[in-house]
Structure 1
Amino acid sequence: MKTFYFSLSLLLISFLVMGQTPEEFNYRVSLSDINLTHYEKDSTANALVLFESGKSYVDNKEYDLNTEVKYKIKIFNKEGFDEANVQVLLYKGDSRHYEKIKDITATTYNLENGKVEKYQLDKNDIFKEEYDEKRTLVKFTLPHIKEGSVITYSYKVISPYFFNYYPWNFQGDIPKLYSEYQASIPANWEYNIKLTGAQKLLINKSDVEKDCLRYISGASAGCFKAFYAMKDIPAFVDEDYMTSESNYRAGISYELKEFKGFDGTVTKYTKSWDAVDNEVKTDQNIGRQLKKSVDAKDLLSSGILSEPDALKRAKAIYKYVQNNYTWDGHTRIFSETDVKDLVKNRSGNIGSINILLHNLLEEADITVKPVLVSTRQNGFPTKLYPVLSDFNYIIIQATINGKNYLLDASDKFNAFGYLPFRCLNQYGRLMDFDHGSQWIDLNPKSTSVMMYQVDVDFDDDLGFVGEVSGKSKGYLAMNLSESYYPNPDQYVEKLQNTSPFIEIYDYEVPDQNESDDTFEESFKVEYNPENTGDLVYINPFIIRWWNENPFKLQERSYPIDFGYKKSFMYIYKLNLGEAYTVESNLKETIVTLPNNAGRLALSSKVLGNTINLTMRVDFKESLYAPEFYPYLKKFLSKIVDIQKNSVLVLKKV
């Protein structure tokens, strides 16, 4: 028998007797399951997984990877009916190699007139359709669903693919009482295994079975058998300011590291970074494209190429690519669009656009290197071992006068030296083909700032009128540019709707480039204050940074990722002249986050007949640990409350 090798990441395994399913959890439907009316640990749950299990193994006939799954789900109300719609995606490589599904069974259990009725899924109600060129969708809906139903279904997936051993998600969109997974992995296959999420395993046991897999030649292999289980698993609820769910959902995933054939051959799938660097360097869609010469004189003006200042030269080239080539929305590191085709067609994927940027900068004597990135929605690339498939995006690092600039020319509103928000995923891999690749930090070092100054006066004829000037910098400025330039009228209308107690007119944006890292605006306002007798009520906050608190969960087990540090400043001056006096002013407020990671400061003072108000909010970190969630939730609630409900009470003289 071959020696058994197993590589495990983030998961401690003790070689014990295989685990067993606890007696209180099983696939059988009981009367107590049917009579269950709610889930005590989550009263908002529309449905509840009572039991689910998965079992993966390699069969001894076709040597395919078989996975058997079973689900038992309680449906509490109509909002939970969607759990009865089951979809399974099957991968297909070609006409001979594809995944199959078999042994589908599904049953609905209802309590009707004091009796449990069972309704079986008709085989004719199982449908198959082409999902895309690489996947087939199999779907079915359990029959006779109503509030209070219990459903069970099971099936087997047969796969010829071993690169990604069947993954298991312990956590889903609804809570689960119990979830278990068994894996039997032949010794020929060596996997890197990763446990994700904050939930703890109830059962984590393993064993080795001898001669579990036999080949026609008479050779055999042992199997590593693992049993994992969790219970009382809360639903995973996504919320603003998070990266990909795959980073945080509780689950186990596998990636093939090495295969050992019975003839002694060894195929390595997980390589060293030196090997990956060489692979990228020689790949015809990356490395060779990076080396393709581009006749910069045919594309760039003589003024750009002759610019003596390297930074100005680089910015001009960046703007040329940004303004003349359109990203087709595809995120992949292997550029299927040749750089020359991009120049001809003016459109291509992210690889072709940024490789063109790389080559033009290099032609202009700028030091450049490609950086492999995984976007926020794609998940974190693992640092434990090289996995090229973790990356789906290429950006460029340019070094000018000893300073590094990260560049992506695919976004029309992105300023030089700023990455699109989708790329702010903590770290990327700088591909230095001469000295070896390395991890680099993608988080912006500077703080993005938004500041508004409002000056309001009382006029005997016009009432309360004022002028507003705003200036933003960094990502907050680029957000405003992206919102304003495609449709200025819609932008102003949205600004008007956030403050129904004012009328906006004479809105202006000075002459500025839409890809600048600053955004300036100015406009005039006329108040429509609430009056009660001699009293006038004015909300001083014409600009609101949040209309509602984005944090609504009771608790959050994953980080709060803003992507960048941010600071907000609001300065308000109200001159009452001789017509009004201040009856009631705002109270001074200071709120700080733990470890001084954020601060809210509100000050409002009356000097003569003038009210001077200042509010500043600082988020001093771009990434906050889950432990900060209750503090951030309270912090945002205070900001929203101040801007939405603050009132200055004025009295007629």
Structure 2
Amino acid sequence: MKTTRICALLPLALCLSLISYAQKDKAKYKFGDIKPEDFAPTVYSVDSSANAVILADVGETVFEGNSKGNFSLIFTRLRRTRLLNKNSFDNEATVEIPLYVDGSIEEKLEDIDAVTYNLEDGKIVATKLDKASLFKDKASKNWTSRKFTFPNIKEGSIIEYRYKINSPYYSNLRSWNFQGSTPRLWSEYSVTIPSDIFDYVVTRQGYLPYAVDTVSSSRDSYHIMVPGEGAMDRSESFTLFSNTVRAKWAIKDVPPIKGESFITTIDNYLSKIDFQLRRIKYSATNVKEIMGTWYQFAERLVKDESFGEPLGRGNGWLSSDLKAAVAGASTDKEKAEKIYAYIRDNFTCKTHEGFYITNTLKKAYQDKSGNVGDINLLLVAAYRNQGFEATPALLSTRDNGYASESYPLLHKFNYVVCRVKVDDQYYMLDATNNKLGFGKLPLNLYNKSARIIDSIMPALVPLESDSLLEKKTTMVFINEGKSKKLEGSFTSHLGYFESLHLRENGGIGKGDDFLKELKKRMTIDVELSDAAADSIKQLNLPVDVRYNMKFDFKGDDIVYFNPMLTEATLKNPFESAERKYPVEMPYRADETYIFNMPIPEGYKVDELPKSARVKLNDTDGMFEYIIMQSNNSIQLRSRIQLNKAVFGAEDYSTLRDFFNFVVSKQGEQIVFKKI
């Protein structure tokens, strides 16, 4: 991710002697400029399987003085799309334009036009949108939208719309996505900022190269009118001059962004540009810091009535119940575990997103339910009530994307947990899942880091997936029974997160359905019985899964037998020939499989797989498959070890080959031949 400031680009622009776009920039695309040859292509090289192709998506934001004594943002957009088949109609022919609203002040949608073009008998027929069909929808307290559907659409139609948004919210300088689920032939965005006044942080993201990446400077004037305070007061107007910076970016032949296996969220790698207002400079001596520092960010949240302020009240109404909850605890660790278990087991999380208190902590306590903010901030309050050092920690879940570690951007966070100090050790806790053990977090929260909300030390707490190791050991021992059948036991000591998944899905129940599913995965006809799962209710411990098996070769002349049974890796998780994005596994892995069985009476080993051991990039991982015949028995040890969870795109080919080998080797069979 590349981060820079627009104001810092000005010296670079002058050094490169860039030509001012204010003088020479001409629009490459004009609304309504559609030609018959635009309908000729039926397939586009950027994505030959696309249902639609965006021919052009061009946006621009400029500042303009307004009649409220301030500035407005003027955002314009032109988008032209070719509909190649009916599958594109729902996604592309219905348009929604979001508008921000705060109280009675809403962004204004102006100058909207939408037209459908069809080629009929060699002539272009245009069908305009009836603006009466534009309707309003309220999405939330701060967002509304305008929606419309293009008329007279057909396979092969070209649809085009343009609009302007007049916004008084100059802190909400619009971001721009160059990439999306539909391929684009041209995606362009430009901003012109009065740099003497406004200072923005610009964050770039993505892997695609820019066809245009330029900056120019000029000096512009802004006419501002200040309304009179009373009915008899006159409005005053003045002209403000400022140096301006104009930045322009464009990417051509933009492929669609598609989901991949083992990735936090594909949105982390979407090619886009974001803006965040850092400060406003009214004069050399009058500067208003908007973004501030992490210390200021944390201090604001500590004082916020919907976040930190209720945590400092003592919350004596918790005391009696907590006293009963910690009864019998002989150490601080036991006391902390009991407090966590009390909140975790007695409160229901309705929404696993959000970090603000929805009403009050006492109300959430009385209702025994709330969102993440209610429950985990209640946990913080409970620990403080009992004399522990506890603080909230904000984070962004894996499916929400990365939160900035450099800039205090509140909108990037969507979750809060509790950090508590017990003796000399800190624990991160989430009380929203009644299957989590003390000191454990769900996998979705391991997304680089969390930010402690403490005005004295708003530190980062690492939450890297590389810090997690999921270790699993499976042992299968088979003997020849009295009935001449092979009888054996299967025991699997699961890793913590596989155990959590099993707990969240109700364990194995009575075992009947569990064994039926296992039997479907067996390559031989086998009887399974006595299924059990240990430690299901001991949430801090891994689960052991056990069952017994019984089978025979039924006198067949040749028997093909896979000793991996249900534990073989059947499919390579990395099917694509290439990948542009990192592989982000949820944890490091270490899986060991041990198998031992006698050669059945009346049979001999005709073919035995060969042993193998391979490394992944020398130190990144290892796979071994060691099999041997010793006297009248067969022993196998198979182990997959991944020493890191995140692999760069440059390692993808090697990782893919590694798992191809694993799938191939674990799929090999022993061939038994009747004597």
Q: Same-fold call, TM > 0.5?
A: yes
Is 1:36 the counterpart of 2:35? The answer is: no
Q: Which residue pairs with 1:282 in the alignment?
A: 303
Q: Distance in 1 between matches of 2:206 and 2:555?
A: 55
Give yes or no for contact 2:502–2:508 (8 Å, CA) kept in 1: no
1:509 corresponds to which letter in structure 2?
Answer: A
Q: C-alpha displacement at 1:263, in angstroms?
A: 12
Give yes or no for contact 1:90–1:99 (8 Å, CA) kept in 2: no
Of residues 17, 20, 36, the one that matches 2:19 is 17
Q: C-alpha displacement at 1:447, in angstroms?
A: 1.2
Is 1:120 the counterpart of 2:122? The answer is: no
2:616 corresponds to which letter in structure 1?
Answer: L
2:392 corresponds to which letter in structure 1?
Answer: P
Q: C-alpha displacement at 1:205, in angstroms?
A: 1.6
Is 1:520 the counterpart of 2:544? The answer is: yes
Is 1:508 the counterpart of 2:532? The answer is: yes
**Percent of residue pairs identical:** 26
More displaced 10-residue stretch of structure 1: 6-15 or 615-624 = 6-15
Q: Which residue pairs with 2:200 in the alignment?
A: 191
More displaced 10-residue stretch of structure 1: 29-38 or 375-384 = 29-38
Q: Which residue pairs with 2:156 in the alignment?
A: 148
Is 1:175 the counterpart of 2:183? The answer is: yes
Q: Which residue pairs with 2:278 in the alignment?
A: 257
Q: C-alpha displacement at 1:262, in angstroms?
A: 7.7
Relative to structure 1, the CA distance from residue 189 to residue 233 in structure 2 (aligned partners, 3 Å threshold; closer, same or farther) is same
Give yes or no for contact 1:13–1:204 (8 Å, CA) kept in 2: no
Give yes or no for contact 2:449–2:461 (8 Å, CA) kept in 1: yes
Q: Which residue pairs with 1:613 in the alignment?
A: 636
Secondary structure, counterpart of 2:13 in structure 1: coil
Relative to structure 1, the CA distance from residue 551 to residue 468 in structure 2 (aligned partners, 3 Å threshold; closer, same or farther) is same
Q: Which residue pairs with 2:661 in the alignment?
A: 638
Relative to structure 1, the CA distance from residue 586 to residue 9 in structure 2 (aligned partners, 3 Å threshold; closer, same or farther) is farther
Relative to structure 1, the CA distance from residue 479 to residue 509 in structure 2 (aligned partners, 3 Å threshold; closer, same or farther) is same
1:516 corresponds to which letter in structure 2?
Answer: N
Of residues 470, 485, 495, the one that matches 2:492 is 470
Q: C-alpha displacement at 1:121, in angstroms?
A: 3.2
Of residues 363, 368, 382, the one that matches 1:360 is 382
Q: Distance in 2 between matches of 1:143 and 1:274?
A: 53
Q: Which residue pairs with 2:623 in the alignment?
A: 600
Of residues 356, 361, 366, the one that matches 1:334 is 356
2:606 corresponds to which letter in structure 1?
Answer: E
1:100 corresponds to which letter in structure 2?
Answer: K
Relative to structure 1, the CA distance from residue 565 to residue 6 in structure 2 (aligned partners, 3 Å threshold; closer, same or farther) is closer
Q: Distance in 1 between matches of 2:9 and 2:435?
A: 40
More displaced 10-residue stretch of structure 1: 503-512 or 300-309 = 300-309
Secondary structure, counterpart of 1:340 in structure 2: helix
Q: C-alpha displacement at 1:22, in angstroms?
A: 9.3
Deviations 1:246-282 (A, max 9, x none): 3221111111112344898543211122222322222
**TM-score for the superposition, normalised by structure 1:** 0.89
Q: Distance in 2 between matches of 1:369 and 1:55?
A: 43
Give yes or no for contact 2:404–2:412 (8 Å, CA) kept in 1: yes
Give yes or no for contact 2:479–2:488 (8 Å, CA) kept in 1: yes
Q: C-alpha displacement at 1:401, in angstroms?
A: 3.6
Q: Which residue pairs with 1:238 in the alignment?
A: 259
Secondary structure, counterpart of 1:174 in structure 2: coil
More displaced 10-residue stretch of structure 1: 548-557 or 337-346 = 548-557
Q: Distance in 2 between matches of 1:17 and 1:496?
A: 72
Q: C-alpha displacement at 1:239, in angstroms?
A: 1.7
Report the RMSD for the aligned CA atoms in angstroms: 3.2
Is 1:54 the counterpart of 2:59? The answer is: yes
Of residues 240, 254, 276, the one that matches 1:220 is 240
More displaced 10-residue stretch of structure 1: 194-203 or 399-408 = 399-408
Secondary structure, counterpart of 1:36 in structure 2: coil
Q: Distance in 1 between matches of 2:516 and 2:310?
A: 46
Q: Distance in 2 between matches of 1:212 and 1:595?
A: 62
Number of aligned residues: 646
Give yes or no for contact 1:219–1:262 (8 Å, CA) kept in 2: no
Q: Distance in 1 between matches of 2:428 and 2:8?
A: 31
Q: C-alpha displacement at 1:235, in angstroms?
A: 1.5
Q: C-alpha displacement at 1:106, in angstroms?
A: 2.9
Q: C-alpha displacement at 1:341, in angstroms?
A: 1.7
Deviations 1:393-449 (A, max 9, x none): 22222233423221111112222222111211111112344x422122112634111
More displaced 10-residue stretch of structure 1: 532-541 or 343-352 = 532-541
Give yes or no for contact 2:523–2:565 (8 Å, CA) kept in 1: no
Q: Distance in 2 between matches of 1:316 and 1:374?
A: 27
Is 1:271 the counterpart of 2:295? The answer is: no
2:297 corresponds to which letter in structure 1?
Answer: V
Counterparts in 2 of 1:149-548, with a 5 A limit? 149-187=157-195, 188-216=197-225, 217-222=237-242, 223-261=244-282, 266-295=287-316, 297-300=319-322, 302=324, 304-433=326-455, 435-443=456-464, 445-457=467-479, 461=483, 463-485=485-507, 493-499=516-522, 501=524, 502=526, 504-513=528-537, 515-526=539-550, 534-544=557-567, 547-548=570-571
Give yes or no for contact 1:89–1:137 (8 Å, CA) kept in 2: yes
Q: C-alpha displacement at 1:294, in angstroms?
A: 4.1
1:513 corresponds to which letter in structure 2?
Answer: K
Q: Distance in 2 between matches of 1:538 and 1:456?
A: 14
Deviations 1:202-251 (A, max 9, x none): 21222233234211221314332221111122221122322233322111
Secondary structure, counterpart of 2:335 in structure 1: helix
Q: C-alpha displacement at 1:330, in angstroms?
A: 4.5
Deviations 1:473-509 (A, max 9, x none): 3223222322343967665554444447455432111
Give yes or no for contact 2:625–2:639 (8 Å, CA) kept in 1: yes
Secondary structure, counterpart of 2:326 in structure 1: helix
Q: Which residue pairs with 1:132 in the alignment?
A: 140
Give yes or no for contact 1:534–1:651 (8 Å, CA) kept in 2: yes
Relative to structure 1, the CA distance from residue 606 to residue 120 in structure 2 (aligned partners, 3 Å threshold; closer, same or farther) is farther
Structure 2: give runs of 5+ residues left out of the alignment.
226-236
Relative to structure 1, the CA distance from residue 612 to residue 24 in structure 2 (aligned partners, 3 Å threshold; closer, same or farther) is farther
Deviations 1:11-61 (A, max 9, x none): 995242245779987763344432212232433333322221101123445
1:470 corresponds to which letter in structure 2?
Answer: S
Give yes or no for contact 1:105–1:121 (8 Å, CA) kept in 2: yes
Secondary structure, counterpart of 2:505 in structure 1: helix
Give yes or no for contact 1:478–1:517 (8 Å, CA) kept in 2: no
Give yes or no for contact 1:9–1:193 (8 Å, CA) kept in 2: no
Secondary structure, counterpart of 2:637 in structure 1: strand
2:651 corresponds to which letter in structure 1?
Answer: F
Give yes or no for contact 1:425–1:443 (8 Å, CA) kept in 2: yes
Q: Distance in 1 between matches of 2:154 and 2:481?
A: 64
Q: Distance in 1 between matches of 2:26 and 2:661?
A: 46
Q: C-alpha displacement at 1:391, in angstroms?
A: 2.2
Secondary structure, counterpart of 2:628 in structure 1: strand
Q: Distance in 2 between matches of 1:324 and 1:582?
A: 58
2:56 corresponds to which letter in structure 1?
Answer: F
More displaced 10-residue stretch of structure 1: 206-215 or 5-14 = 5-14
Q: Distance in 2 between matches of 1:561 and 1:488?
A: 36
Q: Which residue pairs with 1:105 in the alignment?
A: 113
Relative to structure 1, the CA distance from residue 600 to residue 488 in structure 2 (aligned partners, 3 Å threshold; closer, same or farther) is farther
Q: Distance in 2 between matches of 1:379 and 1:320?
A: 31
Secondary structure, counterpart of 1:355 in structure 2: helix
Q: Distance in 2 between matches of 1:479 and 1:333?
A: 25
More displaced 10-residue stretch of structure 1: 612-621 or 219-228 = 219-228
Q: C-alpha displacement at 1:185, in angstroms?
A: 2.0
Relative to structure 1, the CA distance from residue 181 to residue 375 in structure 2 (aligned partners, 3 Å threshold; closer, same or farther) is same
Q: Distance in 1 between matches of 2:8 and 2:583?
A: 24
Structure 1: give runs of 5+ residues left out of the alignment.
none
Secondary structure, counterpart of 1:218 in structure 2: strand
